[in-house]
Structure 1
Amino acid sequence: MDTESAKKHKRKHKGFEMKGGKSKSDTRNAKLSVNKKPAKAGRKSGKAAKDPNKPKRPASAFFVFMEEFREQYKKDHPKNKSVAAVGKAGGEKWKSMSEADKAPFVAKAEKRKVEYEKDMKNYNRRQAEGTKPEEEEESEKSMSEVNDEDDDEEGSAEEDDDE
């Protein structure tokens, strides 16, 4: 029985030396397993790919303000390279501004939002029809016109070579 339990113990602790130390192969395997990260199950496969043709969401009034503020801050502080400092200063200034001071930025943001909504309606219409913007542009010209334009460009390059 003692020999059987000793065999089970060896199988259970395969690769360990009897004195309690690790063998070289176990140390190497342990290092490799530490570097491996477990894959997250179904995280990327479940998420739909982002459509590059989809319009970007419009900036809020604060971000419209920050576009102008960054330019001014860079002029006033040319040696400051910290993005965090610019963001912090912009946030503090935005908080201290009155509603009247914020009004032009809110108006610009609203204008961008209206434009975005119009673009999204067009995008959704194209998605429903199953066409892409590139296909629409090509459909306006016949293929012979497109090919003629390519031939014209090649011909002008040949003329330059002769001179």
Structure 2
Amino acid sequence: MPKESVKRSGKVDIDGNPVVKQRRTKKEKDPNAPKRPLSAYMYFSQDWRERIKAENPEVSFGEIGRLLGQKWKSLSDEEKKPYEDMAGRDKKRHEAEKAEYDRS
């Protein structure tokens, strides 16, 4: 076994031999596969990120994420609806592209 593909767990088996776990290999992504649909929150984040950065230029990237999360949670269902509609359309797009991709 190549050294790069094993990890020592520090545990030993009954015979006293070290237990060796093999790493899982990542499944290679098909570059032609359709992109996954965005969630309503992701559409909201794209829309609001620049506004939050403009209002709070000194905050870090992580803090911007926290502010976006707080803003999203404070929105009413009516205010979230446009983003949910965009996500729904994107989901339909993905399903259609995925069906076409699976046929080919």
Q: What percent of counterpart residues are identical?
A: 39
Structure number with the higher helix fraction is: 1
1:44-75 per-position Cα deviation (integer Å, ceiling 9, x unaligned):
1xx53211111121111111101111121122
Opposite residue 35 of structure 2, the aligned amino acid is: K
Opposite residue 90 of structure 2, the aligned amino acid is: R
Task: Determine which of 61, 82, 97 is the counterpart of 1:119.
Answer: 97
Q: Mapping of 1:50-129 within 5 angstroms?
A: 50-80=29-59, 82-126=60-104
Q: How many residues align?
A: 88
Q: Is the 8 A contact 2:43 2:87 kept in 1?
A: yes
* In 2: Cα distance, 1:72 partner to 1:52 partner: 33
Task: Give the CA deviation at 1:77.
Answer: 2.2
1:43 is matched with: 24
2:17 is matched with: none
* In 1: Cα distance, 2:23 partner to 2:55 partner: 49
Q: Secondary structure at the match of 1:124?
A: helix
Structure number with the higher strand fraction is: 2
* In 2: Cα distance, 1:125 partner to 1:38 partner: 35
* In 2: Cα distance, 1:92 partner to 1:49 partner: 36
Any stretches of 5+ residues in structure 1 without a counterpart?
Answer: 1-35, 127-163
Instruction: Output the TM-score relative to the length of structure 1.
Output: 0.49
Task: Give the CA deviation at 1:38.
Answer: 6.9
Opposite residue 54 of structure 1, the aligned amino acid is: A
Q: Find the structure with the greater CA-based Rg.
A: 1
Any stretches of 5+ residues in structure 2 without a counterpart?
Answer: 8-21
Higher relative contact order (CA 8 A, sep 6+): 2
Q: Pairwise CA RMSD of aligned residues? A: 1.9
Q: CA 1:76 to 1:123, structure 2 compared with 1: closer, same or farther past 3 Å?
A: same
